[in-house]
Amino acid sequence: MIFVGIGSNLAAPGYSSPQNTAEAALAALPGSGAALCARSSWYASEPVPASDQPWFINAVVEIGTELPAPELLARLLALEARFGRERSVRDAARTLDLDLLDYDGFRCSTPDLVLPHPRLHERRFVLMPLQEIAPQWRHPRLGLTVAELLGRLPSGQAIRRLTDSTEKSR
């Protein structure tokens, strides 16, 4: 299973909201060589680390692809740029964030790619949507289920599930 986290807290140029931006990016995934297999609900979450920037819209998707992990990551980064993502300051507000979370349990650590994502187990805004579409998933390095990882999180990281106007896919 290949999982990608999606987030936005600024509307991209030409889009009315961060959620519209994120939905458009998901619709563009097939053009980047990735087929959408499942999508969690949308969630609203406070920025991590805490700041005064707008809350994020987040979801996790399961995709299918024939691309190797480095090429998939390159295409995800190109899609971010297409939606106006500018990388300036770490943890800054952004129009689109696409994180390659897990690629079939593959483990690697290079300057350009770390798998599984090095902070996914610390982020409620990743784990809650991931649990929705893959409750049986285990962290490739830690061996823990999503529920076990959620149980280890400290309090904080406010998040709420949004009511979807479209039914989630599975």
* Domain locations in the chain as residue ranges: 2-161
pLDDT at position 122, please? 94
Distance between CA atoms of residues 73 and 63, nearest Å: 13
| Torsion angles phi and psi, residue 100, rounded to 5 | -75, 110
Residue 125 Cα distances to 5, 80, 129, 169, angstroms: 9, 19, 7, 19
Q: What is the pLDDT of residues 98-153, one digit of tens each?
A: 999 999 999 999 999 999 999 999 999 999 999 999 999 999 999 999 999 999 99
Q: In the chain, what percentage of residues exceed pLDDT 90?
A: 82
Distance between CA atoms of residues 137 and 50, nearest Å: 28
Q: Which two tokens stand for residue 93?
A: 């507000």
Q: Are 18 and 53 in contact (CB under 8 A)?
A: no
Comparing 15-19, 51-55, 150-154, which segment has the lowest mean pLDDT? 51-55
pLDDT at position 88, please? 74
Indicate which residues carry an active-site annotation.
85, 94, 97, 99
pLDDT at position 170, please? 39
| pLDDT (average), residues 62-89 | 93
| In the predicted structure, residue 168 carries a pLDDT above the cut 50 | no
Please indicate, yes or no, whether the overall pTM of this predicted structure exceeds 0.85: yes
Q: Which CATH class is domain 2-161?
A: alpha beta
pLDDT at position 164, please? 62
Q: What is the pLDDT of residues 23-40, one digit of tens each?
A: 999 999 999 999 999 999
